[in-house]
């Protein structure tokens, strides 16, 4: 497993320095490679909490979390954090070094040269820094700073997305999110998958345009034109007539000269004039036709032929269909990128812009797909335990006591696998035994969130994969099973969030998928390219999609999806 090399390297370098110092010399703690300071992580996230660095010089920079003056203003104690880890470094500044009043407000940025010392026995931290010199102060007026040092709710912080990464929670989430993204690339690379960038702007409208954002330049073009026509009004009909008259006149001149057998030169000059007048008429006529507003066709519909891509374009809802074209050549691929839904939902589980991981595997059946999904989720859980434990401990303390145990459980326990039919039987049994669900349970229903949570949280208390769903409730591209009633689809359900992954074996049989498209009342034409993948050299293949923010909710135990993406987009809000 690839450990966090940056840390290992810094820690190794620090330990080397120790040996140098032990040999009698005195050295600075090495700086980050492209910056002017030592990351605080390199000091305090060592096995010894930093105590082995005592006596060493270091330059550190960061933002004051807590500052206070002490000993009749002879000292200031500053807890500073630079985001490289969850922990803070305590910096002690004497009044002789700097004006202390400007240093203590929460949010102040400082860069300090100093010497690492062991703190008095009995204090929590293992190392602290005595400042020799203050190199930079980015001050804060506490009366105006929007994030004072009081407990702020996550909801309040959503109004300050540009500052909220300075809080302990949002920075811990940022580090966990980063770790999960890196784990994702590491896992798929290790397994021989190629990362494919599927398009964000798409003209494949596969799940219905209703919930898609449109991408257009028509509105801004219309505004530009309106402005331009105001400044420079279009020609009137009279002006167009006048231009036509000029052409007619110039034409007559040419005819007359030809009839009079004038010199080539004279005729040439007149023809030139005629040409110019025609060009100028064409321009006038074109401008005369300009109409303010969105361009429309004769039937009154918007003329998307005039849009940037010469047709209607949308933001993608999934890269799956496009990545299938790559799997039918490269065998193991995945996409990891933003996807979009223009749904008007105001829940804690939906965003208009969110990230999805979508692997696709050729020569693979549903069983392989489930194996891959299980291995991937386990890998991410183990990765967080190995690489992000300090941040996990923070969120465990603050939000969800059980989150570390949940990661351990998922990393170590085989996932339960039940068919949809078995799952419905389990739910029906529960109802018989007195369990109340809001949504009726019977074969054929789409499992509701309450059903999924019951299976994973109550019945099995571990991750559950439900597979082989009724074809009526699933998409046309899922492979029809031999029973002709179900399709080879699967959902991975986990405690805390319910559905984390949805996937399927894809229908690779040309005739079957063609009739599935027709049966669902969809037009064939937009899917011709997709059918080509089955027409020419078809291959069985399978894949799934994981909602990346759902994974972060699952890992951290946070409740609202708006807090686990840096810049959340939802109805009415798209700050920055």
Which DSSP letter does residue 41 get? H
Instruction: Specify the DSSP element, H or E, that contains 541.
Output: strand 541-547
> What is the distance between the terminal CA atoms of the chain, rounded to a whole angstrom?
37
Q: Does 524 bind a copy of itself (CB under 8 A)?
A: no
Q: Does 111 bind a copy of itself (CB under 8 A)?
A: yes
Instruction: Specify the DSSP element, H or E, that contains 353.
Output: strand 353-362
Closest approach, Cβ 471 to a copy of itself, in A, equals 23
Q: Does 46 bind a copy of itself (CB under 8 A)?
A: no
Binding mask 224-243 for a copy of itself (x = CB under 8 A): x-------------------
Q: Which of 68, 133, 197, 258 binds a copy of itself (CB under 8 A)?
A: 197
Number of alpha carbons in the 13 Å side-chain half-sphere of residue 526: 17
Return the number of the residue (213 or 399) whose C-beta is nearest a copy of itself. 213
CA 109 – CA 285 distance, rounded (Å): 63
CA 534 – CA 61 distance, rounded (Å): 58
Q: Is 261 helix (H, G, I), strand (E, B) or coil?
A: coil
Q: Which stretch binds a copy of itself (CB under 8 A): 173-181, 260-268, 431-439, 514-522?
A: 173-181
Return the number of the residue (34 or 96) whose C-beta is nearest a copy of itself. 34
Return the number of the residue (203 or 280) whose C-beta is nearest a copy of itself. 203
Q: Which of residues 399-428 bind a copy of itself (CB under 8 A)?
A: none
Binding mask 57-96 for a copy of itself (x = CB under 8 A): ----xxxx-----------------xxx------------
Q: Which of residues 259-278 bind a copy of itself (CB under 8 A)?
A: none
Strands 416-419, 464-470: pairing is parallel
Instruction: Specify the DSSP element, H or E, that contains 275.
Output: helix 264-289
CA 73 – CA 172 distance, rounded (Å): 33
Q: Which stretch binds a copy of itself (CB under 8 A): 56-64, 424-432, 434-442, 457-465?
A: 56-64
Binding mask 354-373 for a copy of itself (x = CB under 8 A): -x-----xxxxx--xx-xx-
Q: Which of residues 454-513 bind a copy of itself (CB under 8 A)?
A: 508
Return the number of the residue (365 or 450) whose C-beta is nearest a copy of itself. 365
Q: Does 198 bind a copy of itself (CB under 8 A)?
A: yes
Q: Which of 314, 356, 339 is nearest to 209 (CA)?
A: 314
Q: Which of 88, 90, 108, 504 binds a copy of itself (CB under 8 A)?
A: 108
Q: Which of residues 139-168 bind a copy of itself (CB under 8 A)?
A: 139-141, 144-146, 161-163, 165-166
Tokens matching residue 206: 């596969």
Q: Which of residues 313-352 bind a copy of itself (CB under 8 A)?
A: 313, 315, 321-322, 325-326, 328-332, 337-338, 340, 342, 344, 352
Return the number of the residue (145 or 460) whose C-beta is nearest a copy of itself. 145
Q: Does 185 bind a copy of itself (CB under 8 A)?
A: yes
Q: Does 131 bind a copy of itself (CB under 8 A)?
A: no
CA 442 – CA 562 distance, rounded (Å): 34
Q: Does 13 bind a copy of itself (CB under 8 A)?
A: no
CA 247 – CA 359 distance, rounded (Å): 65
Q: Which of residues 372-401 bind a copy of itself (CB under 8 A)?
A: 372, 375
Q: Cβ contacts of residue 427 below 8 Å, gap of 6+? A: 437, 441, 451, 454, 455
Q: Is 153 helix (H, G, I), strand (E, B) or coil?
A: coil
Q: Which of 24, 47, 210, 521 binds a copy of itself (CB under 8 A)?
A: 210
Strands 128-138, 109-117: pairing is antiparallel
Lateral strand order in the sheet of 416-419: 194-195, 332-340, 353-362, 541-547, 498-506, 486-494, 464-470, 416-419
Q: Which of residues 550-569 bind a copy of itself (CB under 8 A)?
A: 565-567, 569
Closest approach, Cβ 425 to a copy of itself, in A, equals 29
CA dihedral sign of residues 217, 219, 222, 224: negative
**What is the size of the binding site for a copy of itself (CB under 8 A)?**
132
CA 359 – CA 354 distance, rounded (Å): 17
User: 141 — phi, psi (to 5°)?
Assistant: -90, 105
Q: Does 536 bind a copy of itself (CB under 8 A)?
A: yes
Q: Which of 109, 152, 154, 389 binds a copy of itself (CB under 8 A)?
A: 109
Closest approach, Cβ 53 to a copy of itself, in A, equals 17
CA 549 – CA 152 distance, rounded (Å): 22
Q: Which of 489, 520, 483 is nearest to 507 (CA)?
A: 489
Closest approach, Cβ 123 to a copy of itself, in A, equals 25
């Amino acid at each position: 497993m690839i450990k966090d090399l940056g840390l290992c390297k810094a820690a190794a370098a620090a330990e080397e320095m120790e040996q140098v110092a032990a040999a009698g010399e005195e050295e600075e703690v090495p700086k980050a490679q492209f910056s002017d300071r030592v990351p605080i992580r390199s000091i305090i996230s060592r096995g010894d909490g930093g105590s082995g660095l005592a006596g060493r010089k270091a330059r550190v920079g960061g933002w004051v979390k807590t500052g206070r003056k002490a000993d009749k203003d002879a000292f200031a104690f500053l807890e500073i954090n630079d985001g490289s880890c969850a922990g803070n470094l305590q910096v002690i500044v004497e009044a002789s070094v700097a004006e202390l009043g400007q240093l203590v407000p929460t949010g102040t940025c400082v860069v300090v040269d100093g010497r690492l010392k062991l703190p008095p026995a009995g204090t929590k931290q293992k190392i602290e820094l005595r400042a020799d010199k203050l190199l930079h102060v980015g001050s804060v007026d506490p009366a105006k700073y929007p994030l004072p040092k009081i407990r702020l709710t996550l909801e309040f912080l959503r109004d300050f997305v540009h500052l909220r990464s300075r809080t302990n929670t949002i920075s811990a989430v940022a580090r966990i999110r980063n770790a999960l993204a890196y784990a994702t690339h590491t896992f798929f690379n290790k397994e021989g998958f190629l990362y494919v960038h599927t398009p964000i702007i798409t003209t494949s409208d596969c799940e219905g345009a209703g919930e898609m954002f449109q991408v257009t330049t028509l509105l801004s073009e219309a505004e530009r034109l309106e402005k331009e026509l105001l400044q420079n009004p279009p020609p009137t009909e009279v002006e167009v007539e006048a231009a036509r008259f000029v052409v007619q006149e110039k034409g007559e001149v040419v005819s007359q000269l030809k009839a009079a057998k004038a010199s080539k030169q004279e005729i040439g000059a007149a023809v030139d004039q005629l040409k110019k007048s025609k060009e100028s008429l064409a321009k006038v006529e074109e401008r005369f036709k300009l109409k303010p507003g969105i361009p429309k066709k004769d039937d009154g519909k918007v003329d998307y032929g005039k849009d940037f891509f010469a047709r209607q374009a949308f933001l993608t809802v999934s890269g799956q269909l496009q990545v299938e074209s790559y799997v039918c050549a490269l065998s193991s691929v995945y996409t990891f990128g933003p996807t979009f839904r223009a749904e008007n939902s105001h829940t804690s589980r939906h965003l208009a812009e969110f990230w999805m991981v979508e692997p696709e595997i050729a020569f693979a059946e549903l069983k392989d797909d489930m194996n891959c999904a299980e291995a991937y989720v386990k890998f991410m859980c183990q990765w967080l335990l190995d690489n992000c434990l300090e941040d996990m401990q923070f969120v465990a303390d603050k939000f969800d006591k059980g989150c570390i145990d949940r990661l351990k459980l998922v990393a170590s326990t085989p996932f339960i696998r039940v068919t949809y039919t078995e799952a419905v039987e389990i739910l029906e049994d529960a109802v018989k035994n007195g369990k109340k669900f809001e949504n009726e349970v019977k074969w054929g229903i789409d499992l509701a969130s309450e059903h999924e949570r019951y299976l994973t949280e109550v019945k099995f208390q571990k991750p559950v994969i439900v597979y082989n769903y009724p074809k009526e409730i699933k998409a046309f591209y899922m492979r029809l099973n031999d029973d002709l009633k179900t399709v080879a689809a699967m959902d991975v359900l986990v405690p805390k969030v319910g559905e984390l992954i949805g996937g399927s074996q894809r229908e690779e049989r040309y005739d079957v998928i063609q009739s599935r498209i027709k049966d669902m009342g969809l037009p064939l034409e937009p899917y011709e390219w997709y059918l080509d993948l089955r027409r020419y050299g078809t291959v069985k293949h399978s894949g799934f999609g994981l909602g990346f923010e759902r994974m972060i909710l699952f890992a951290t135990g946070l409740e609202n999806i708006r807090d686990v993406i840096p810049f959340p987009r939802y109805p009415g809000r798209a700050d920055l």
